[in-house]
Amino acid sequence: MPKAWQRPYAAYLFDLDGTLVDTAPDIGVALNHALATAGIDPVSTELTRHWVGHGARVLIEQAIQHHETNHGVPPDKLEVEPLLEVFLDHYADHLTDTSTFYPTVEATLRQLKERGAKLAVVTNKMASLSEPLVRQMGAWDTFDVVVCGDSTAHPKPHPESVLLT
């Protein structure tokens, strides 16, 4: 009997950032670009990786709090919205400058597809960023569906996006 990870399933759903694709370097560059417009020192890719899982707004908020902790600037003097706009604009133009699939992802997806499995991306990233990212990575035709953070009223972990998939 095959082990649980060896069982063939009819469909596989994958998160995008940090699961299929290492997007942290490009997100970090966009974050540091936005921070620079406010005179905030750049942050490391490791910090970006740590903060990125809760969305762009929280990423910016965390960077502002980090700056306050290290430089004593109150966060109310640094506004999130203008930085978020700069971040999103820059990131949209540089989605895949350095982003890469994690090792074995491409081979695994190809193998699952060859078995006849349906493949989907279910991400909290907005469609305006997710869909171009998947296309630019050359994987659009690999997936039967891409469900994004704005595809449903409630993002993950709410089950709505999985049910839509």
Please, are residues 101 and 21 in contact by the beta-carbon 8 Å criterion? Answer: yes
Active site annotation includes 76: no
As a whole number of angstroms, the distance between CA 85 and CA 57 comes to 10
Bridge pairing between strands 21-22 and 100-101? antiparallel
The angle subtended at Cα 161 by Cα 164 and Cα 129, nearest 5°, is 110
Choose the catalytic residue: 15, 41, 76, 97.
15
What is the length of the chain? 165
> Whole-angstrom Cα distance, residue 75 to residue 62?
10
Q: 35 and 63 in contact (C-beta within 8 Å)?
A: yes
Catalytically active residues are 15
